[in-house]
Amino acid sequence: MNECLIVACIIGLAAVHDGDTIRINGHSIRLQGVDAEELTELHGSEATAAMESIIGDKVVTCVIEGRSYNRSVATCFLPDGTNINREIIKRGYALDCARYSRGRYRTDEPDGARDRLLQKPYCERRART
């Protein structure tokens, strides 16, 4: 991918931790702007299974955008260019986390997703002062 020529990337086969976190080559990667329920929450197992279905056994390319809690924060892609961050939201297993995405994925949320899934309080946009 051309993005890797100008920024840091992690590329490899991914193991799914949950609906918004994967591991590649020992690196924990949080999907930037994505809010999936935790494994202990009502839809967490469904989100994890959906992420496993999206990634399958494909090589994943993650464009690193920062770090948080000892994890890289990234936008990740499949070989065909599919944006994994967007795809988990489009399938209705995660919500846009506006505080970090600036609303980038909000229009990808299917109807009713916000009624069904829990949004983390930290995802609310903070007012600028």
pTM of the complete model: 0.89
Model confidence pLDDT, tens digit, residues 4-27: 555 699 999 999 999 999 999 999
Q: Is CATH 3.90.1150.10 what the domain over 2-106 is classified as, yes or no? A: no
Q: Where are the domains of the chain?
A: 2-106
Per-residue pLDDT, 121:
83
Helix (H) or strand (E) holding 47: helix 44-55
CA distance linking residue 107 with residue 89, whole number of Å? 9
* 3-state SS, residue 116: helix
What percentage of the chain carries pLDDT values higher than 70? 91
